[in-house]
Amino acid sequence: MPKVCTKDIIEKFELELISGEEGINRPIVTTDLSRPGIELAGYFNFYPAERIQLIGKTELTFTERLNDMDRQDRFERLCTDITPAIIISRGMEVPNDLVEASERESVPLLRTKQKTTRFSSLLTNYLESKLAPTTAVHGVLVDVYGIGVLITGKSGVGKSETALELVKRGHRLVADDCVEIRQEDENTLVGTSPELIEHLLEIRGLGIINVMTLFGAGAVRSYKRISVVMDLELWDQNKQYDRLGLDEEKMKIIDMDLPKLTIPVRPGRNLAVIIEVAAMNFRLKRMGVNAAEQFSNRLADVIEDSE
């Protein structure tokens, strides 16, 4: 199944379907749009037929200067078997030659009342969101003090229970068990919950609970940008854990490296508080305040003075 097809943009932007209804299920495979000005002038050597073709006032008024034969030829060459749609902006009148060509090739011919540049921006943003690279991660995503915290770890380590405690403390749940992640741009990963389990938490011994029903609409979010990964693991006495916070681990998701903290789990440790403090400390680091580096520099100064 394609991620997005012509029918989706018709419904999303309330576009008027002029002709080519048979092609409304054509897949859209790229976020790039094309304004076929040079093609309407007759140059089709590098015509990006797989893109949505957006025709504005400039392109449409130019075709009025063409003779009937050339105009009909250009419109026919615009309509290919892989062109997902041709969209006319500003609610302008559609030439009959273009209507006939789109009907013959089943290329949806659409019209919007919006200005060309504005509509181009809205459509590009929508397609980038829908066609972004995606993956799914086993874990829990929580919004803690505005920081998107992805909690990972082996099954049974206490991820959902920690998320429940965070929700009780006023933070917001995004997804439990399965986090769907899309990369919207080079430095942005956004996590959401699968529709089937949205707002639900699974607590062993208790079962499935609906967080929004129990704690209200303010306890959930539908999506959140992921800023940091906190990996829960059972305490290993033979393993050396970072005690200063100078070492920075990374976790690669799709094409992006996220900061990763490994938090050992054992009885008596309040994981919710630790994650809260870790989120606040992460915010401080982004603001340029690094307590570990400050301590290390002070320690180095003391050692230097003692020598």
Please name which of 155, 188, 171 lies closest in space to residue 254, comparing C-alpha atoms.
188
Active site residue 250: no
Give the tokens for residue 281.
């400390």
Q: Is 156 annotated as a binding residue?
A: yes
Backbone φ and ψ for 230, nearest 5 degrees, come out as -120, 110
For 262, the token pair is 């490994």
Catalytic residue list contains 143 = no
Q: Is 19 within any annotated ligand binding site?
A: no
Is 243 known to be catalytic? yes
* Helical H segments across the chain, by residue range: 6-13, 37-40, 57-63, 68-78, 96-105, 116-130, 159-168, 211-215, 271-286, 291-306
Token pair for residue 110?
């659409």
Catalytic residue chosen out of the listed positions 111, 159, 172, 221: 159
Indicate left, alpha or beta for 260 from its phi (over 0: left) and psi (-120 to 50: alpha). Answer: beta
Q: How far apart are the first and last CA of the chain?
A: 70
Catalytic residue among 8, 70, 97, 177: 177
Residue 256's H or E segment, with its range, is: strand 256-265
155 in a labelled binding site: yes
Determine the length of the chain.
Answer: 307
Tokens of 304: 């230097």
Q: Is 111 a catalytic residue?
A: no
The distance between the two most distant Cα atoms of the chain, rounded to a whole number of Å, is 92
- CA angle centred on 120, ends 116 and 126, rounded to 5°: 150
Rounded Cα distance, 137 and 252, in Å: 11
Q: Is 252 annotated as a binding residue?
A: no
Q: Give me the sheet containing 188-192, strands edge to edge.
A: 134-138, 178-185, 188-192, 223-225
Q: Which of 243, 252, 255, 266 is catalytic?
A: 243
Would you say 91 is a known binding-site residue?
A: no
Residues that constitute the known binding site for ATP? 153-160
> Which positions are annotated as active-site residues?
138, 159, 177, 243
Residues that constitute the known binding site? 153-160, 202
Residues that constitute the known binding site for Mg(2+)? 160, 202
